[in-house]
Amino acid sequence: MPRIRQLPSSVITKIAAGEVIERPASVVKELLENSIDAGARRLDIELEVGGTELIRVVDDGHGIEPADLPLVFASHATSKLNDADDLFRIGTMGFRGEAMASIGGVARVTIQSRAAGHAEGSELFSDGGELSEVRPWNGSPGTRVEVRHLFFNTPVRKKFLRTVSTELGHVVEVATRLALAIPNLHVVIRHNGKMVHEVPAEASLLERIGLFFGKDVREALIEVKAEIGPLTLSGYVADPVCDRGNAKLQYLFVNRRCIRDRSLGHALQEAYRGLLMTGRYAVGFLFLNLPPDQVDVNVHPTKSEVRFRDSQALYHLVRSAVKKALLSKNLVPRLQVPEGGAQPMYPRGYEPAPGMYSQIPTAIPEPRNIAPQIPHPVLPPENGAPADVKPSPVADAPGSTLPIELPAGPLTRAIQIHDSYLIVETRDGMVVIDQHALHERILYEQLRNRLREGKLDVQRLLIPEPMELTMEQAGAVLEVRTQLAELGLEVEDFGAGTVAVSSYPALLGRVPVGQIFQSVVDVLSTKDRPPTREQLFDHLLATMACKAAVKAGDRLSREEIDYLMQLKPMAEDSHHCPHGRPTSLVFSRHELDKQFKRV
């Protein structure tokens, strides 16, 4: 067996570099964070060949004392910690004292710095870890770092780098995060002598988001603000119409540090539950501030992951604040026709008109003496009130967020087309409503409210209906039998993978038991981990509402249309069905006039 021996310092440095320095973007991140900690208000970043041949970062920070310059490339040398207790109240971007040593070990690095108040500065060169003598340098106050020929002495690492455009993209992403996190920071990025981005110091957060992510994202943003004790949350989230196919536009900052956190990412997605289609992700730029002793940033070499003392409080803060912000806005998508009269298309953003959604007629004819005969009946009014009772005005309805302004003049009635859509005239144009999506949302919220109040009607079966499943599926179902019973689905174990359903939600009396039960099995068997009680209830309520709602192709009577429109403003979120599809689309009068050449 080989004997244990001490590794040479050159090998130790390269091993450490492998943990911290993965690509040019890793170098840029460490250099920029050092500049921020030094009080820099301007950062100039110059790159060549995606940063593989040259990375130059110039700042206007406090600079480095000449006597301290050799310690820049020493392992575990830092000005940001005094003792071990400081690790639990870190307020700086960097603190480990490993970055410059790692960079110096795998590149040719020149550092030049002039401290504030000094007549001249000094410079030092590191060639793969071999240091030169400290020499005088006549430069302006601040620090200038040049990193050339990254991984020149570790060619295997260099082979794993991607294309120049890919590496440049990673560098820009690093600069983007800092530009968003630090107010009044002037950032300039150049590549091969050409300007890539310049962010003026006076640019607001909204202007910075627009600069990096485009006008469509900026115009779709909704402000978020919340506070619980010492915890504060601020930032923006985007209208659901501005969703994405991945979570790359979810930026989470904790005390100015951009982090990855599955719990907070999940909280953001949960706030959009019912507003996004499956597989779509919200866009958000959220900034959390909390006392430094409430967060541990010393859990990952690149400081990209943190650990919170009270993660549940942060989870609820993010979810509730984002949900409140979304419910306070008019989220009805608008149909727009592109120039040239092409077919209508969805916009990436939206242009909400004042009172647009509030113009949908909410007045109804005099109360009827018969219950509406919608093919798949809606829930009867709450508390057992007869169906001919007119609902209270929406302004006083629980969960209502938008005032409803009755249109002047006689009531404008909705009309049905293609047995699928309802058309309603408004002062600013017209609204096209998907009858299934709207009815599904109404039923979902009524089911949810009844479940919360313990008033969900249950129909017991005279003869329990057996369901044959695999052993794995049966085990998953039986594991959540208590939650299923709260939803009106009582199941019993018959052994050998068979379970029997003995009760059923009364709302779904016309839907086969096997059909609704199979949806339960599907959600339980397709998840990597068992769903939480809330997730399970939400999915099953959405499924029940979908099965019971009117369908596309169902012809509705005048009474049924009026009754559906009567219920519409009573929904907390009538803009989207529980699965995230829009229930309504607005076609403005201006667009109509444009198409008929009136403007």
| Interval 340-346 mean pLDDT | 41
Range of the domain at 116: 9-203
Six-digit token string for 187: 């950032």
CATH number of the domain where residue 514 is located:
3.30.1370.100
| Interval 14-18 mean pLDDT | 54
| pLDDT for 199 | 95
One domain, residues 269 and 357: no
Q: Is residue 293 part of a domain?
A: yes
| pTM: predicted TM-score of the whole model, two decimal places | 0.65
Query: Would you tell me how many other CB atoms lie within 10 Å of the CB of residue 201?
Result: 12
Banded model confidence at residue 53, pLDDT cuts 50, 70, 90: very high
Q: Is residue 1 part of a domain?
A: no
Residue range 244-286, pLDDT digits in tens: 888 888 999 988 888 888 889 999 998 998 788 777 889 999 9
Backbone angles phi, psi at 216, to 5 degrees: -60, -45
Cα 405 to Cα 353: distance, rounded to the nearest angstrom: 14
Banded model confidence at residue 81, pLDDT cuts 50, 70, 90: low
Q: Is residue 514 part of a domain?
A: yes
Mean pLDDT of the chain: 78
Find where tokens 């943003």 sit. Answer: 221
One domain, residues 376 and 462: no
One domain, residues 43 and 186: yes
> What total number of domains does the chain contain?
4
One domain, residues 199 and 217: no
Last residue of a domain, one of 281, 300, 327: 327
Q: Under a CB-based contact definition with an 8 Å cutoff, are residues 107 and 30 in contact?
A: no
| pLDDT for 79 | 62
| Interval 16-20 mean pLDDT | 57
One domain, residues 54 and 176: yes
Q: Is residue 3 part of a domain?
A: no
Which residues, at least 6 apart from 317, have a Cβ–Cβ distance to it below 8 Å?
A: 226, 228, 231, 233, 288
Query: Pick the residue with more confidence: 116 or 15?
Result: 116
pLDDT at 149 over 90: yes
| Interval 132-151 mean pLDDT | 93
CATH number of the domain where residue 22 is located:
3.30.565.10
Q: Is residue 266 part of a domain?
A: yes
Identify which of 229-233, 354-358, 585-589 has the greatest average pLDDT: 229-233
Find where tokens 């709207």 sit. Answer: 438
| pLDDT for 291 | 87
Q: Under a CB-based contact definition with an 8 Å cutoff, are residues 344 and 337 in contact?
A: yes
pLDDT at 349 over 60: no
One domain, residues 323 and 339: no
Cα 447 to Cα 296: distance, rounded to the nearest angstrom: 42
Query: Pick the residue with more confidence: 475 or 152?
Result: 152
pLDDT at 391 over 50: no
pLDDT at 354 over 50: no
| pLDDT for 22 | 85
One domain, residues 35 and 24: yes
CATH number of the domain where residue 305 is located:
3.30.230.10
Query: Pick the residue with more confidence: 311 or 80?
Result: 311
**Least confident window among 163-177, 379-393, 573-587:** 379-393
Angle of CA points 127, 53, 197, to nearest 5° = 125
| pLDDT for 94 | 54
Residue range 301-339, pLDDT digits in tens: 666 677 888 888 899 999 999 999 998 887 766 655 555
pLDDT at 353 over 60: no
Query: Which DSSP string corresponds to 450-502?
Result: HHHHT---EEEEEEEEEEE--HHHHHHHHHTHHHHHHTT--EEEEETTEEEEE
One domain, residues 315 and 298: yes
pLDDT at 397 over 70: no
**Least confident window among 173-187, 408-422, 584-598:** 408-422
One domain, residues 576 and 507: no
Nearest to 181 by CA among 262, 96, 285: 285
| Interval 521-541 mean pLDDT | 71
Residue range 192-243, pLDDT digits in tens: 999 999 999 999 999 999 999 888 899 999 999 999 888 999 999 999 888 8
Residue range 114-139, pLDDT digits in tens: 998 888 999 999 998 889 999 999 99
pLDDT at 367 over 90: no
| Interval 184-191 mean pLDDT | 95
One domain, residues 25 and 158: yes
Q: Is residue 423 part of a domain?
A: yes
CA dihedral 541, 545, 547, 553 (to 10 degrees): -160
Q: Is residue 162 part of a domain?
A: yes
Six-digit token string for 83: 């003792």
Pairing of strands 429-434, 498-505: unpaired
CA distances from 470 to 476, 517, 526 (A): 10, 14, 14
One domain, residues 222 and 350: no
Banded model confidence at residue 89, pLDDT cuts 50, 70, 90: low
| Interval 392-417 mean pLDDT | 44
Instruction: Find the largest Cα–Cα distance for the chain.
Output: 97
Banded model confidence at residue 376, pLDDT cuts 50, 70, 90: very low
Residue range 479-492, pLDDT digits in tens: 788 888 888 888 88
| Interval 514-537 mean pLDDT | 71
**Least confident window among 21-25, 123-127, 337-341, 444-448:** 337-341
Banded model confidence at residue 583, pLDDT cuts 50, 70, 90: confident
Q: Which long-range contacts (CB under 8 A, 24 or more apart) does 407-414 make?
A: 407/359, 407/361, 411/361, 411/363, 411/364, 411/365, 412/361, 413/361, 413/558, 413/561, 413/562, 414/361, 414/561, 414/562, 414/565
Query: Pick the residue with more confidence: 92 or 559?
Result: 559
Query: Pick the residue with more confidence: 162 or 27?
Result: 27
Cα 368 to Cα 376: distance, rounded to the nearest angstrom: 19
Nearest to 332 by CA among 235, 418, 429: 429
| pLDDT for 49 | 93
One domain, residues 17 and 116: yes
| pLDDT for 369 | 30
| pLDDT for 393 | 31
**Least confident window among 101-105, 504-508, 556-560:** 504-508
Last residue of a domain, one of 150, 176, 203: 203
Last residue of a domain, one of 203, 235, 263: 203
Which residues, at least 6 apart from 213, have a Cβ–Cβ distance to it below 8 Å?
A: 249
Percent of the chain topping pLDDT 90: 25
CATH number of the domain where residue 363 is located:
3.30.1540.20
**Least confident window among 190-204, 369-383, 450-464:** 369-383
CA dihedral 83, 85, 87, 92 (to 10 degrees): -70
pLDDT at 17 over 80: no
Banded model confidence at residue 11, pLDDT cuts 50, 70, 90: low
